[in-house]
Structure 1
Amino acid sequence: MALPNIYTDVNFKNQPVSSGLISDSSSCTVSDSSSALPKKTTIHKSNPGFPRLLLALWIFFLLLAILFSVALIILFQMYSDLLEEKYTLERLNHARLHCVKNHSSVEDKVWSCCPKNWKPFDSHCYFTSRDTASWSKSEEKCSLRGAHLLVIQSQEEQDFITNTLNPRAAYYVGLSDPKGHGQWQWVDQTPYDQNATSWHSDEPSGNTEFCVVLSYHPNVKGWGWSVAPCDGDHRLICEMRQLYV
């Protein structure tokens, strides 16, 4: 069965749109109140124990460095002493030694020794040669024996040496003026002390004599120092440290 057609009038009205936006009276505005609140400041509290820990570590490493330095110095000194003793023994060319019971304060040492035909005095050994040579050759001969020309450090030492010398001879000692400027030097670098010398009354003299000999002056009946040409031939006196075993 066919249904009847029903017609209805429908009117469409266009509502105005303002600025392309549809206004809604029910809309509400929400304001951000968070901007009005004060911001919280985070306070970082320092650890009071941290600086103390750093200070303790610094002190620890400082003490460790000091102890290490002291240990190195002691080891170096011990090593130097061993090298010096070894060097001296090698220079002696296995010469026979004359040893006596040690009464000094040297630790762990029982005997003090000098090579045969050397004379001991106050921790040193002395050798007097009857051969003659120039000053430089004399020093070379002493060096080959592991020694050096005599270095006089006291009147007692000089008296001990001169008691066995021939007063008609002169003996080179380890004092010279290499540049001829009045700058006297000992061969072992012992400082020259003007107040601890044994020059004869008229010495030092001469402008071409820059080496020193021990000589006897009959007019004063005593031994003293005299200058001599370095290329002159004189006897020699060698000196070395005693060996402790």
Structure 2
Amino acid sequence: MSDSKEMGKRQLGPLGHLGLGHVPSALQVFFLVVFSVLLLVILVKVFEIPSSQGQEQSSQEKVYQELTQLKAGVDRLCRPCPWDWTPFQESCYFFSVAQKTWNDSATACQTVGAQLVVIKSDEEQNFLQQTSKKRGYTWMGLIDMHKESTWHWVDGSPLTLSFMKYWNEGEPNNVGEEDCAEFRGDGWNDTKCDNKKFWICKKPKTSCPSK
């Protein structure tokens, strides 16, 4: 009976709890395994970060290269004038295919950042006269609405004597309140502003990037 008690004491251990004598070594193994797993995870993350950053940097560089190539392509396509405008010297001209009153024509030009054409030189006048002659009667930005026989351009500048030679013979005659000027035939004519004509818009050329 005493041998049985002694065996029970050895199995229960010094604290009277079964197996506690083996708990410290089991915990050590457990913590060692957990620590090893955590260390492995950390190492994997550390090695993944440079790879991810490298991929991100590579992606950014690729996008930058594509944007650079796209910009170069756009620069090559740069036009001083919009596609449906005609360049001449330092300006762009839009020749309408529809007809409007003088006021509506002026508004149409303003809508696209331009104005009814203001003529500044003999060369420009000849170019516009020949072009409009092929199309039909065409508005220009010249009026005497504010004071009869005092003609001025839509930019506020007066009609100079050097341009008076472009009026057709007998014009301007102001028959029936004719306050707006048009290209007609080989010269200019004054006519009623409510008539519908073709029109010409003018704006400066835009500068393209240097090659």
TM normalised by structure 1 equals 0.50
Q: How does 1:90-239 map to 2 (within 5 A)?
A: 99=79, 113-167=80-134, 169-197=136-164, 198-207=166-175, 208-216=177-185, 223-239=186-202
SS of the residue 1:161 aligns to: helix
Question: Which structure's residues are more often helix, by fraction?
Answer: 2
RMSD: 1.7
Q: Look up the equivalent residue of 2:171 and give its one-letter code.
A: E
Within 2, Cα distance between the matches of 1:234 and 1:124? 22
Within 2, Cα distance between the matches of 1:184 and 1:164? 23
Within 2, Cα distance between the matches of 1:120 and 1:167? 17
Within 1, Cα distance between the matches of 2:135 and 2:205? 29
Which consecutive residues of structure 2, in runs of 5 or more, have no partner in the other structure?
Answer: 1-76
Within 2, Cα distance between the matches of 1:98 and 1:202? 45
Q: Look up the equivalent residue of 2:167 and give its one-letter code.
A: W
Q: How does 1:234-245 map to 2 (within 5 A)?
A: 234-245=197-208
Within 1, Cα distance between the matches of 2:110 and 2:201? 9
Q: For the Cα contact (< 8 Å) 2:116–2:201, is it kept in 1?
A: yes
Q: How far has the Cα of 1:166 moved from its partner?
A: 4.3
Question: Which structure's residues are more often strand, by fraction?
Answer: 1
Within 1, Cα distance between the matches of 2:159 and 2:128? 20
Q: Look up the equivalent residue of 1:178 and give its one-letter code.
A: M
Which consecutive residues of structure 1, in runs of 5 or more, have no partner in the other structure?
Answer: 1-96, 100-112, 217-222
Q: How far has the Cα of 1:149 moved from its partner?
A: 0.4
TM normalised by structure 2 equals 0.58
Q: How far has the Cα of 1:139 moved from its partner?
A: 0.2
